[in-house]
A and B are shown apart, each in its own frame.
Chain A
Amino acid sequence: MATPASLWKKGIRLLSLSFGVKINFILGLGLAILIAVGSIALRSVDSLVDASSEENHAFSAISSLERVVGAVRRAESAARKYALTGEATDLSRYRSARSLVITTRSELDMGGSSIAQDHRLSQLRTVVGESLDRFDELSRTRQQSGAAAAAALVRGGRSDEASLRMQILADQFRDTEMRTLRNLAMETRLIADNTSFLVFWGLAFAFALLVWAMLIIHRHQAGRLSAEAALKASEAQLRLITNAVPALIGYVNRDGRLLFHNRAFEQWFGRSESELRERSLASLMGEVEYAKVASQVGRVLAGESTSFDFPLHMGSRGILHLSVQLVPRLEEAAKERVPGFYALATDISALKEVNRLKSEFVTTVSHELRTPLTSIRGSLGLLAAGVTGALPDKARQLVQIAVQNCERLVRLVNDILDSEKMLSGKMELKITRIDVAALVRRAITETEGYARQHGVTVQLMEAGGKVLQVMGDNDRLLQVVINLLSNACKFSPQGGVVEVALRLEAGQVMVSVANRGPGVPKPLQARLFERFAQLDSTDAQRRAGTGLGLNICKSIIEHHGGRIGFAEREGGGSLFHFTLQLAADGGADAQQDSRSGQAGQQPVG
């Protein structure tokens, strides 16, 4: 049901409709109103024409009646005069009056405005006929029987009676017609009033709609103009910003054409705006250079954002080291097909140079440190071993401290170099097929002395009867296991056991190294694998490390596509573990292995 509230809501909805719908609705409504007003006016005119013809008919009926009654009176008067005088001239007057009555009586045949009036007219015609018969009788009596007989006929009074009847009928007819005329006049006035009211308000409403439509059109036009102006201003501002940015900013469509570019493109490529407009990326970069990024373009057109570093060879203009980000244009309408992508490329040549210098610096410093370290370590080593003669106890103790710290310094230099290699992406992996158990056993052997020094036993739990092989760099993976083992030994209590376990889990080889040491303090756990994570530690043992070992382990494992992690052990202690992808056919049963089926513990060291 249409309540006022719902109508109001509909009205509001109309106001919020689009421009086109609104204008069509208003003009349609206006046209409908004009058609309605026109048809009403047409019907009113028809009614008025009908009323007018009825009016004319009534008037002519009344005037015909008046003429007939007048002619009858004149014929009666002429007949009476002839009856008195008997003169031929009076008889002639009567005869002409009589013929006038005959002529005018035919006008009464036109009919009245109703059946009652028609009846009255018919009676009138009869009365007129009777009157003429009496006048003829009177004139005949005068001619044949003389004046006395005619006078006797007049005195008989029949003529007065007929005259009276005629007069009554004529009056009744006239009154009725006059009443009809009055009604018609009232009806006509009413129609005219209504029609003029409807036409006036209809036209006024149509005019109001027209004005409304014009206002809407005007507002729409003004809005569009101001929106265009705002768009132009915003575009100009955007262009200013993109032109000011010292990076390549562009939009490339699916066909690989540059539809938008900022000024940096013109400057870096040495091309004019018109040369760049809609130019294909391949022709701008050169086919050879473009081929290097084609796969990235393919990825972004598949809807994936990508970022990569890219050295763009620009012929005689040298190499431009770019950090590139490609972002697909994703729109609701084009969900299934990326229409193009945005490209942002920053010149990182300076950054590359700084990185190269830093890398060179670290390498040089590391080399320069090694030379004096060789002398120091050599001298201290010889001294501590007593090659130059036995040292007093205190001196031997001090030399031992110097040897240990010298070794730590050597490790630090090595770790810094490793860390730098990983950061600069220069770590080279020599990938071979590796038996993980053999690798772990070698690591245990290498750390044997260190474990003994800390009074720690290392136990290896191998995966039951399986030879687990991975593809990796043997030296680097050995470095990881040695690092984890050394840490575990270092933080184990005297007489403690370090457990090393190998497991196969969902195609991944998992190596874990666990001890029963004090564990890793909570605040350190979250950043355990970050560089120099242990720096703020005050623990003397912790300080003996370089702070880079775990970070290097993480890098090595991640370079192998694996993951490294840490967990607290129930009942105290830490568990470090890493996973590596099992090589294809790398999980054969070790039937020839003497330890197969044992799946047990193999104490080492």
Chain B
Amino acid sequence: MQALERIMLVEDDPDIRTVVVMALEMVGGLQVEACESGAQALEKVAAWAPQLVLLDVMMPGMNGPEVLGAFRARADTSAIPVIFLTAKAQESEIQALRDLGALDVIPKPFDPMTLTDAVRALWDRHQKA
């Protein structure tokens, strides 16, 4: 089973981006490439080759589901597992995001100290599957 090391974060809010990067790198010891938009993510994804993508849902330009669609449409990114980060709390919305083919949904706000654990747990579940 492959250990999780390289992650890509797509988040338009610079503050959240900073916090998540610090939590994943300084607490979780992961390597993170942070992108501020979907377009930037699609541009960098090939070069960075992340094992997993943390994707914000509400973003200007391409929103999270659209970025996921674009990933799935490209041969080199179609298999990368995606976890959504969302501030939307409605059960129906969360279920809809899962149904799009995401690994899971992590609701905002989250605890920065346990964020990496949550992500690793989902990664492990994905690896076993």
Within A361-384, the residues touching B (CB, 8 Å) are 363, 366-368, 370-379, 381-382
Given contacts A381-B112, A382-B112, A414-B89, contact A374 B19 (CB under 8 A): yes
Complexed CA–CA distance, A374 and B107 (Å): 10
Complexed CA–CA distance, A428 and B91 (Å): 8
Contact A371 B23 (CB under 8 A): no
Contact B109 A387 (CB under 8 A): no
Can you list, as one digit per residue, whether each of B63-91 has a CB less than 8 Å from chain A (1) or not (0)? 00000000000000000000000011111
Complexed CA–CA distance, A388 and B87 (Å): 26
Q: List the B side residues contacting A373 at CB < 8 Å.
A: 108-109
- Most A CB contacts (10 A, CB to CB) among B22, B23, B26, B112 go to B112
Query: Which residue of the partner chain, among B22, B88, B89, B110, contacts A387 with CB atoms under 8 Å?
Result: B22
Contact A410 B109 (CB under 8 A): yes
Complexed CA–CA distance, A377 and B113 (Å): 10
Q: List the B side residues contacting A385 at CB < 8 Å.
A: 27, 112-113
B20's closest neighbor in chain A, by CB?
A378
Contact A382 B27 (CB under 8 A): yes
Query: Which residue of the partner chain, among A371, A378, A381, A430, contacts B87 with CB atoms under 8 Å?
Result: A371
Q: List the B side residues contacting A379 at CB < 8 Å.
A: 15, 19, 112
Given contacts A385-B113, A387-B22, contact A374 B27 (CB under 8 A): no
Complexed CA–CA distance, A540 and B23 (Å): 32
Within B9-26, the residues touching A (CB, 8 Å) are 13, 15-16, 18-20, 22-23, 26
- Tell me the minimal C-beta distance from B107 to chain A in angstroms: 8
- Tell me the minimal C-beta distance from B125 to chain A in angstroms: 19
Q: List the A side residues contacting B111 at CB < 8 Å.
A: 377, 381
Q: List the A side residues contacting B26 at CB < 8 Å.
A: 382, 387-388
Question: What class of interface size applies to chain B in its complex with A?
Answer: 20 to 34
Query: Which residue of the partner chain, among B22, B92, B108, contacts A374 with CB atoms under 8 Å?
Result: B108
A428's closest neighbor in chain B, by CB?
B91
Say whether chain A's binding surface is mostly helix, strand, loop, or mixed: helix
Contact A375 B89 (CB under 8 A): no
Query: Which residue of the partner chain, among A366, A368, A371, A382, contacts B16 with CB atoms under 8 Å?
Result: A371
Given contacts A363-B90, A382-B26, contact A370 B19 (CB under 8 A): no
Within B88-118, the residues touching A (CB, 8 Å) are 88-92, 108-113
Complexed CA–CA distance, A372 and B112 (Å): 14
Complexed CA–CA distance, A147 and B90 (Å): 174
Complexed CA–CA distance, A421 and B110 (Å): 22
Contact A371 B89 (CB under 8 A): no
In the complex, whether A417 has a CB less than 8 A from a CB of chain B is yes
Complexed CA–CA distance, A368 and B88 (Å): 9
B27's closest neighbor in chain A, by CB?
A387
Complexed CA–CA distance, A388 and B27 (Å): 10
Contact A370 B108 (CB under 8 A): yes
B19's closest neighbor in chain A, by CB?
A378
Q: List the A side residues contacting B27 at CB < 8 Å.
A: 382, 385, 387
Given contacts A375-B16, A378-B16, A378-B19, contact A370 B109 (CB under 8 A): yes
- Tell me the minimal C-beta distance from A159 to chain B in angstroms: 159
- Can you name 8 A-B residue pairings with CB atoms under 8 Å? A366-B89, A370-B87, A373-B108, A378-B19, A382-B19, A382-B113, A387-B27, A428-B92
Which 4 A-B residue pairs are closest in the complex by CB-CB distance? A378-B19, A370-B87, A375-B15, A374-B109
